[in-house]
A and B are shown apart, each in its own frame.
Chain A
């Protein structure tokens, strides 16, 4: 299925993300991964989600899936406020830069990651970081959990309405 980048002009080139047509795809990818990581940007504290904020969903998801979380920017404070301790916090460019290094031991010291999920960064920041990973992190698959199409990810939702997106994420939470 074809999808359009959220920002009309941000056309990537020949290698584009596969479109997540069913939330189960994400669940299967996570289950298959040996060592996934979830990168959460500052917008997760701003975006409404099912009566709370996206970060509340993220916490539930991280707890249920056991995926270690990296909080970028000042998100660490938002997690801490909610009584959740991410595995690490660091600038978005730093986690990107570490993910391209095959010798990095990961956020938990257990070795480099093979799957990175992203959510809640500025579109253009996530876009460029995913591009860096697509080109320079051969060991890594990436998934964008945002409600917009991220062509540089390995897998991404297409541009979705807020309601559709919430529905999809809830299915992921339920089945992960």
Chain B
């Protein structure tokens, strides 16, 4: 659907309104009929529509490139040496090459979510029909698809409407991907603008996926009291047959749960999941169990607990089939995107497949029919569970101690370990008969298995660590609130004002994967810190699970400790990766519902609003994937800064503001047209923190926005200064940049701060009605 095509459609509509009701309606037409809001300036933006906005952001938040490699090897001219300012055979330089790789990563991420969305929508249409209404929260959620409305300028009402939106997204992703070809774009900032474009598209794709599944699978619909569900290895009843689902696409899991229920087997079998599929299982079926984040794959499979392993798509270990074979668990692969070399049994009778899997004649099967997956998985689980007797791949303690003696102390494991864990030392202690040091590594290990690949003695290092940490693993019994999906309109109305005025100090979203630098506990600590400080804390994906893997002094997990409402001091799990769109959606809805800014195809204005007024920050402490990159990119364009953990520096490019360059921090005062210095708020757009302490201080800082009222700014400064003092042991040195008038100064710290301001030669300034868009100035300055 090109922009031009869309305008033609609208033209037809305006001249022909009466006839439309009798036609097979396209999205634009339905919208035109029922959505009175006038079309904004940028419906279905093409690659360059929002380029000017991007350049404004990139002017302030300049890319800092951190090449992962000196060369480019994308075409047969290469490898090309790009060191010392050299250009490759195609003429590209290092800055453009790095931004190209960022674009490529984001295209992969956006394509993955959008492919997922397309599969879901097609499947759900087949099941429920095109006309199935998109009810994601009844009267409580009237703005059902804020991202889609903002970007595309259409208001989807049925499953069928989502198809046209995906047409647009897919076309644009293809264009963005094509930009990565040798000899297309040559300028790094233009690459970056396309990164933003594809990030924005990604959020549309995610939103489509999640509202489709919420509506059709009857997931919680923006429910702050969504059920608390079980989380952790220890919650699985291993006496029962266990089906483990890994991945992101809930469709095959739904097939399993439905088959189980229809055949009176509910409660007889444990259905559990790893990664986002687990979230969506529990959104569908609250007796489902979440084992944990992505990094629990090896430890859980090797534990021998799963009797059947069902793989759908994304973030699945590509050796999952091999690992499942080691514990004699049959594997069902259920996605065209992940066939694992298995024969396609989709058209075979279910019982024949069951027989082959149970007898061991077949190790696995590709089944592309979710209902058949359900039947086969359940029948196989029931039959193999008694035969397997939870056959494990993790050695017993004696064996670990014995095997440890074969360690050559070569250090290759440590040099392969992304966490630089001191494995050889731990092995040395194990040689002497104690697993204590190996057990210490359990919490820090991200379960990648690289240590084992590297070990010349063939030692199962990861399994040893898991065995040593077994007690901790078995004690993992927590609660997480099932993903609630979108934020209700009424919640936005309630918090819009305090957020925009700064009285709720910020919205902090802990999202993304589990490549944590220092174990998952840090996420739970950060979540608790900010929820206790009455920020609105949102979670999604693996981070949402990790946040739940903690108990306070009263034995409560964070989801039991804090309310699930989108309010000060709330802890809101929106759901799986694709539910991230609701976080962007909440920011957009603040601008629309609270501030009454036009939403429809009005991207720049809404992004400008969010950047200047909505103190929201994303934290992806363990971000690892290309999807995480594109999700972040969607937030950048919308003016929401993203903090990643230290591993996130490997995304090869940061978008950093320079607080010391005063000229970078002027905005227009929309009332007068004057340019006003507002300080570095927010200071960065994309930034990797080295430690948890640094991240916490930065979260508080990045929540400040030019629009904060004096009361709001004083509250935000209080948190920033308080965290800074506690974690850095000193006052921040940049307070003068955030105090605009004396009334901004927190009363309890007045004397101390006034002294600092004097030393810094601080001058009072005004609080503008901030915007970066000259067209929003109400009175033009002559």
Identify the A interface with B (CB < 8 A): 6-9, 11-15, 41-42, 72-74, 76-77, 80-81, 89, 91-94, 96-98, 100-101, 104, 121-125, 128-129, 131-132, 134-136, 138
Which one of B71, B728, B733 has the greatest number of beta carbons of chain A within 10 Å?
B728
9 A-B residue contacts at CB 8 Å?
Answer: A74-B694, A74-B727, A76-B729, A77-B727, A91-B689, A93-B64, A97-B658, A128-B652, A136-B64
Q: How far is the CB of A82 from chain B (nearest CB, A)?
A: 11
Minimum CB distance partner of B729 in chain A: A77
Q: B483 on the interface (CB 8 Å rule)?
A: no
Task: Report Cα–Cα, A33/B64, bound state, in Å.
Answer: 25
Q: Which of B66, B94, B415, B727 contacts A128 (CB 8 A)?
A: B66
Q: B153 on the interface (CB 8 Å rule)?
A: no
Q: B728, A124: Cβ atoms under 8 Å?
A: no
Q: A89, B517: Cβ atoms under 8 Å?
A: no
B94: chain A residues at CB < 8 Å are 135-136
Task: Report Cα–Cα, A89/B697, bound state, in Å.
Answer: 13
Q: Which of A72, A93, A124 contacts B418 (CB 8 A)?
A: A124
Q: A77, B728: Cβ atoms under 8 Å?
A: yes
Q: A132, B418: Cβ atoms under 8 Å?
A: no
Q: B440 on the interface (CB 8 Å rule)?
A: no
Task: Report Cα–Cα, A7/B413, bound state, in Å.
Answer: 10
- Interface segment out of the listed B39-47, B77-85, B160-168, B383-391: B77-85
Q: A122, B728: Cβ atoms under 8 Å?
A: no
Q: A100-B64, A131-B67 are in contact. Are A91 and B694 (CB under 8 A)?
A: yes
Q: Is the interface of B mostly helix, strand, loop or mixed?
A: mixed
Q: B691 on the interface (CB 8 Å rule)?
A: yes
Q: B412, A94: Cβ atoms under 8 Å?
A: no
Q: Which of A8, A12, A97 contacts B64 (CB 8 A)?
A: A97
Task: Report Cα–Cα, A157/B748, bound state, in Å.
Answer: 49
Q: How far is the CB of B78 from chain A (nearest CB, A)?
A: 12
A73: chain B residues at CB < 8 Å are 689-691, 693-694
Q: How far is the CB of B664 from chain A (nearest CB, A)?
A: 12
Q: B261 on the interface (CB 8 Å rule)?
A: no
Q: A132, B67: Cβ atoms under 8 Å?
A: yes
Q: B454 on the interface (CB 8 Å rule)?
A: yes
Q: A123, B67: Cβ atoms under 8 Å?
A: no
Q: Which of A72, A92, A138 contacts B85 (CB 8 A)?
A: A138
Closest 8 CB pairs of A and B: A13-B70, A77-B729, A74-B693, A128-B66, A73-B690, A132-B66, A15-B83, A73-B691
Q: Which of A77, A101, A125 contacts B688 (CB 8 A)?
A: A125
**Contact digits for B689-726, partner A, Cβ 8 Å, 1 yes 0 no:** 11101100110000000000000000000000000000
Q: B730, A76: Cβ atoms under 8 Å?
A: yes
Minimum CB distance partner of A8 in chain B: B415
Q: A15-B83, A122-B646 are in contact. Are A91 and B70 (CB under 8 A)?
A: no
A11: chain B residues at CB < 8 Å are 69
Q: A93-B649, A121-B690, A134-B83 are in contact. Are A77 and B730 (CB under 8 A)?
A: yes
Q: A8, B658: Cβ atoms under 8 Å?
A: no
Q: A14, B729: Cβ atoms under 8 Å?
A: no
Q: B287 on the interface (CB 8 Å rule)?
A: no
Q: Which of B82, B656, B689, B728 contacts A76 (CB 8 A)?
A: B728
A125: chain B residues at CB < 8 Å are 646, 649, 688, 690
Task: Report Cα–Cα, A48/B69, bound state, in Å.
Answer: 31
Q: How far is the CB of A51 from chain B (nearest CB, A)?
A: 19
Task: Report Cα–Cα, A123/B418, bound state, in Å.
Answer: 9
Q: B68 on the interface (CB 8 Å rule)?
A: yes
Q: B83, A135: Cβ atoms under 8 Å?
A: yes
Task: Report Cα–Cα, A19/B727, bound state, in Å.
Answer: 36
B666: chain A residues at CB < 8 Å are none
Task: Report Cα–Cα, A124/B332, bound state, in Å.
Answer: 37
**Contact digits for B641-658, partner A, Cβ 8 Å, 1 yes 0 no:** 000001101101010101
Q: Which of B420, B656, B727 contacts A97 (CB 8 A)?
A: B656
Q: B762 on the interface (CB 8 Å rule)?
A: no
Minimum CB distance partner of A71 in chain B: B728
Q: B415, A91: Cβ atoms under 8 Å?
A: no
Task: Report Cα–Cα, A89/B69, bound state, in Å.
Answer: 28
**In chain B, residues 162-205, which have Cβ atoms closer than 8 Å to a Cβ of chain A?**
none
Task: Report Cα–Cα, A72/B697, bound state, in Å.
Answer: 13
B82: chain A residues at CB < 8 Å are 135
Q: B646, A91: Cβ atoms under 8 Å?
A: no
Minimum CB distance partner of B69 in chain A: A13
Q: B416 on the interface (CB 8 Å rule)?
A: yes
Q: How far is the CB of A8 from chain B (nearest CB, A)?
A: 5
Q: B728, A14: Cβ atoms under 8 Å?
A: no
Task: Report Cα–Cα, A16/B62, bound state, in Å.
Answer: 27
**Contact digits for B27-71, partner A, Cβ 8 Å, 1 yes 0 no:** 000000000000000000000000000000000001011111111
A96: chain B residues at CB < 8 Å are 64, 66
Q: How far is the CB of B452 from chain A (nearest CB, A)?
A: 14
Q: How far is the CB of B2 from chain A (nearest CB, A)?
A: 38
A129: chain B residues at CB < 8 Å are 66, 649
Q: A93, B728: Cβ atoms under 8 Å?
A: no
B727: chain A residues at CB < 8 Å are 74, 77
Task: Report Cα–Cα, A135/B87, bound state, in Å.
Answer: 12
Task: Report Cα–Cα, A92/B694, bound state, in Å.
Answer: 10
Minimum CB distance partner of A93 in chain B: B654
Q: How far is the CB of A70 from chain B (nearest CB, A)?
A: 12
